Structures are given as structure tokens and as C-alpha cells.
Amino acid sequence: MPYVHDTLERLKKSSPAQTEFYQAAEEVLECLRPLFERSPHYHDHSIIERIVEPERQIMFRICWTDDAGKVQVNKGYRVQFNSALGPYKGGLRFHPSVTSGIIKFLGFEQIFKNALTGLPIGGGKGGSDFDPKGKSDGEIMRFCQSFMTELYRHIGPTTDVPAGDIGVGAREIGYLYGQYKRLTGRYEGVLTGKGLDWGGSIGRKEATGYGAVYFAQNMLQARGESIEGKTCLVSGAGNVAIYTIEKLYELGATPITCSDSRGTIHDPRGIDLDLLKELKEVKRASLEEYLANHPEASYIPANDYPADGHAVWRIPADVAFPCATQNELTDGDAETLLGNGVTCISEGANMPSTAAAVDRFLDAKIAYGPGKAANAGGVATSQLEMAQNSSMQQWPLEKVDAKLKEIMANIHQQCADTAEEFGEPTNLVLGANIAGFRKVADTMIDQGVV
Ligand code: NDP
């Protein structure tokens, strides 16, 4: 279809060298072909040309002073991608790999993810190439204050509400919030993922991981199976991975792996969750230290990974949860997972599987939940935090968790129904992309050319 092809070609010329953004755009637009055949009016309204172009992109310099008194400089970004459905909503990522292309891919995915939640939130994303690893609390605080000194003028509780992502957890959100309050004099719900004593939602920290497990449970139930008793692979050892592991235990499954950028732990009796929390949430230590308490587990350093992939995915199991970062699951990994009999994959991370890996999963017709559907529980609960802030309430965990469960079941149902409608009942990638896109595109048409 020339419409999709031409738009992608134009994108590559107008936004050069944004590889991850093209990957995300191509995946979505290719899935939309059958929709455009049925509904040519999207072409008349130039919807895809409009949807691939952010409404606004902010790039700024962040200067801060390290503990040695040296001035450091980083780049900051906020991409306000699409506000058809509500205020821009999406996390901030602090990681040395961050570029404008990475932030654009994440912001683009966020539009459709947020639409799938059924909640009134638009899509945005931001971050910096700042590396929090090895920095003191004082350095992190000074960096966050400097970051917010520029960002505060572009955000607000009804315009743009950032949250956390890789490298941005409770500590960073605290420093960012403190500086916003100092600059504006306002105590308001401008960030989500806040501390529970100062406007945070109970259950937000756990929501992305819990949601990814609920999504797997929904996919398995639709096939007459259950997560109970399953052996599971989890990658990552951050916020999403930890609470994926917690929910898996709660539902009677056994998570046997976790990983960080330096290596992978394989503990066949099940990952020691308390120890993992202690190492990562309190001590911010390397996973290798896990062995001091569990010498019977094995540690595979990143240097020993297979040349074409990641050690986690080479370990036999039933279900896989990629929860670290983009493109962490390659074609070779996908082949091994399928060869080992994995029947369900639920993505806690954003775009963790390469395009070739996704094709393999779809061809094999296994239960495959793409990130924009499977990890939407985080942003959904962020929106619940916004709702609590604006009504000056704090809901109990039971209420938040029940809503999260219901939202994940609805997202799964929408994806499955849309996949069925377009004649590919097992293809939840197609279902997620068309269902999310239709909601945003129809709203853009309703709101006119803006
Ligand atoms: P964290 O920073 O808490 O954890 C990230 C984990 O992934 C760490 O264990 C980190 O290891 C590992 N990791 C990061 N980059 C790499 C890499 N290049 N290679 C190997 N390991 C890596 O982030 P989150 O858990 O919040 O986010 C994980 C994923 O989930 C991301 O894709 C994020 O976009 C997505 N997501 C997060 C949401 C949230 O609510 N937090 C919501 C929806 C999606 P190390 O510490 O050694 O770097």
C-alpha cells in the first residue's frame, strides 16, 4: 500500500538516524494496512502523516556539578507526541543510551498503549543521557533539580504528567517533584510514581509488573490454560522485573531467572525475591552478589552470552517475561524459546523483542502479548494516581489492584476482539495496534485539523 510505504520513507528522510523510532513506526503502520483498506477516510484526513509527527519536541541542556566540583553537561528531552485523548502521559528515562530517537520510539508506543487503557491520557515521553549508576545521592539530586528547572515550564497536571522509567524510580521522582514545587509554589499532581506520603498511589510501584502477569494470565486463560504451576523466565532486575516476579509467586508460578546489564541469575528453585529487593531497591548492587546467599544458583556474566542473544532466553521454561529494555530478545533467542517449548510471552519492557523475533512468535501462533498492551498497567495506574490527586483521596490497595486487573482484562479483550475482527485471532500485535490507533485517529478526526 503506497500510503504506508510513502509515509515511512518520508519519515526516514525527515528524521534521520532514528532507528528504534522507525522500528516502532513500521510495526504499527504495517499492522494498519487492513484497516486502511476498509476505512480509506483515514487517508483523506492524513491521519498517519499527523500521528507519526510529535505535536512538540523539547530538547534542552542540563548542567550540574558533580561531587568533585566539576561541571557536567547532559542532554534532556520531552516529546509531547499526541494529546487527542488527554494530557501527555509517559515516563522519563535516565540512561546513557538515551537519544532523541529512543525517546521518540517510546513516545510513539505510548500513544497507542495509553489509548488501549481506555483512560483519558495522551502520549509523551522524556529523559536524558544522564547515567545514574555510580552517582551519589547528592549528584542525583543536583541533576534532577537542574533537569526540572527547564522541564517545569512545559508540564502541568492537565497538560503533561511525566512518570518514571529506566533509571527513574522513587528517589528521582522525589527530587524532581521537590524542585517543581520550589519553582512553581504549587503542590499538585504533576508527576506520578510519587511517594505514598506525598500524593503517590498505593500499588503504582507494583503495577507494570503485576499488569504484565495479569496479561499473561488472560492470554493463557483464553487458551484454556493457567499461569499456576508454570516455570517462568524474567529478564531485568528493576521495577518491572521485581514486581513481575512478586505477582508470579502470588499466582503459583515459579520465576527462575532475572538479569541486569552485567549478567543473569538462574536459580532453578525460584528467585529469592526478598534478596533481589534488598540488592536492587536498597543496596543498588550487582546481581552477582546474589551468589553470596545462594551459591547453588548460577551467574552468567554478560560477556558469556551467546553471540546472537541473551542468556536468559536460552534456559528452558514455559513462559517468558522480557522486562529489561528494547531489543533484548533477538531472532536467535526467539528460535531457542520456541524450540524449548515456551508457549506464552508477555512483554513488561517496551519493544523488547526485535522485529524478526516478533515475526517468529506470530508465525508460531503462541500467546504473545506485545509491550504496548502487556505493560500498560503501569501507565493505567499512573492515571489512577492522577484521579486520586485531583479528588484529594488515597485509595486502598484492594481498590487499585482490582481496577488494574479489570483494565488488563479489558485491554486483552480489545486486542483479541480486534484481532478476530480482522481475521487473525491469535495476532495480538495486530489487535493492539488497530484498537489503539482507531481510538486516537477517530478522536483526531472529531477534533478537526489542529
Ligand atoms: P529499571 O531502571 O527499574 O530497571 C531496568 C532493568 O533492566 C535493570 O535491571 C537494568 O540493569 C536492566 N537493563 C537496562 N538496560 C539494559 C541493557 N541495555 N542491557 C541489559 N539490561 C539492561 O527500569 P524499569 O523496570 O522501570 O523498566 C524496564 C522496562 O520496562 C523498560 O523497557 C521500560 O520502558 C518498561 N516500562 C516501565 C514502566 C514502569 O512503570 N517503570 C512502565 C511500562 C514499561 P542495570 O541496572 O544493570 O542497568
Mean pLDDT of 198-213: 97
Ligand 1: nearest atom to the Cα of 352? 32
How much is the pLDDT for 257? 98
CATH (one of 3.40.50.720, 3.40.50.2300, 3.40.50.10860, 3.30.420.40) for 2-188: 3.40.50.10860
Give the Å distance between the CA of 240 and the centre of ligand 1. 7
Strand 298-301 to 319-321 pairing: unpaired
Ligand 1: nearest atom to the Cα of 164? 41
Q: What is the pLDDT of residues 257-307, one digit of tens each?
A: 999 999 999 999 999 999 999 999 999 999 999 999 999 999 999 999 999
Domain boundaries, the chain: 2-188, 205-369
Estimate to the nearest angstrom the gap between the alpha carbon of 373 and the chain centroid: 10
Q: What is the pLDDT of residues 42-75, one digit of tens each?
A: 999 999 999 999 999 999 999 999 999 999 999 9
CB atoms within 10 A of CB 187: 12
Ligand 1: nearest atom to the Cα of 351? 32
- Position 415: which residue type? C
Is residue 77 very low, low, confident or very high in pLDDT (cuts 50, 70, 90)?
very high
213 neighbors 301 (Cβ within 8 angstroms) = no
What residue owns the CA closest to ligand 1's atom 46? 260
Which residues form the catalytic set? 125
Ligand 1 lining (C-beta closer than 6 Å) = 164-167, 169, 208, 236-241, 260-262, 323-325, 348-350, 375, 378
Report d(CA 140, CA 132) in Å as an integer: 7
Report d(CA 130, CA 128) in Å as an integer: 5
Q: The cell 486502598 sits on which residue?
A: 396
Ligand 1: nearest atom to the Cα of 262? 47
Q: What is the pLDDT of residues 93-103, one digit of tens each?
A: 999 999 999 99
Q: Which residue among 214, 239, 304 is best mutated to probe the pocket of ligand 1, counting the most ligand atoms within 8 A of its Cβ?
A: 239
Mean pLDDT of 390-416: 97
Helix (H) or strand (E) holding 214: helix 204-222
Give the Å distance between the CA of 277 and the centre of ligand 1. 15
What residue owns the CA closest to ligand 1's atom 16? 261
Q: What is the pLDDT of residues 134-159, one digit of tens each?
A: 999 999 999 999 999 999 999 999 99
Report d(CA 54, CA 61) in Å as an integer: 20
How much is the pLDDT for 2? 83
For residue 3, pLDDT over 90 is answered with no
Give the Å distance between the CA of 348 and the centre of ligand 1. 9
Give the Å distance between the CA of 260 and the centre of ligand 1. 9
Portion of the chain with pLDDT greater than 90, in percent: 99
Listed residue (235, 219, 232, 231) closest to 352, CA to CA: 235
The mean of the pLDDT values for the chain is 97
What's the Cα-to-Cα distance from 281 to each of 137, 159, 287, 321, 444, rounded to whole Å?
14, 31, 12, 20, 41
Give ∠ CA 129-208-259 in degrees, rounded to 5.
65
Portion of the chain with pLDDT greater than 70, in percent: 100
Q: The cell 480489545 sits on which residue?
A: 414
Residue 65's DSSP bridge partners are 71
For residue 1, pLDDT over 80 is answered with no
330 neighbors 310 (Cβ within 8 angstroms) = yes
Do the first three CATH levels of 2-188 and 205-369 match, i.e. the same topology?
yes
For residue 354, pLDDT over 90 is answered with yes
> What are the grid coordinates assigned to 19, written together?
532507528
CB atoms within 10 A of CB 252: 11
311 neighbors 305 (Cβ within 8 angstroms) = yes
- Position 191: which residue type? L
What residue owns the CA closest to ligand 1's atom 44? 349
Q: Which DSSP string corresponds to 34-63?
A: HHHHH-THHHHTTHHHHHTS-SEEEEEEEE
Give ∠ CA 190-180-283 in degrees, rounded to 5.
90
CATH of domain 205-369: 3.40.50.720
> What are the grid coordinates assigned to 414, written together?
480489545
Listed residue (6, 102, 7, 9) closest to 48, CA to CA: 7
Listed residue (206, 185, 205, 181) closest to 195, CA to CA: 205
Ligand 1: nearest atom to the Cα of 168? 2
37 neighbors 10 (Cβ within 8 angstroms) = no
Q: What three-state secondary structure class fits 232?
A: strand
352 neighbors 325 (Cβ within 8 angstroms) = yes
How much is the pLDDT for 291? 98
Is residue 128 very low, low, confident or very high in pLDDT (cuts 50, 70, 90)?
very high
What residue owns the CA closest to ligand 1's atom 2? 166
What residue owns the CA closest to ligand 1's atom 21? 261
Estimate to the nearest angstrom the gap between the alpha carbon of 258 and the chain centroid: 17
Q: Which residue among 20, 240, 305 is best mutated to probe the pocket of ligand 1, counting the most ligand atoms within 8 A of its Cβ?
A: 240
Is residue 227 very low, low, confident or very high in pLDDT (cuts 50, 70, 90)?
very high
Q: What is the pLDDT of residues 147-203, one digit of tens each?
A: 999 999 999 999 999 999 999 999 999 999 999 999 999 999 999 999 999 999 999
Q: What is the pLDDT of residues 236-257, one digit of tens each?
A: 999 999 999 999 999 999 999 9
Report d(CA 295, CA 289) in Å as an integer: 10
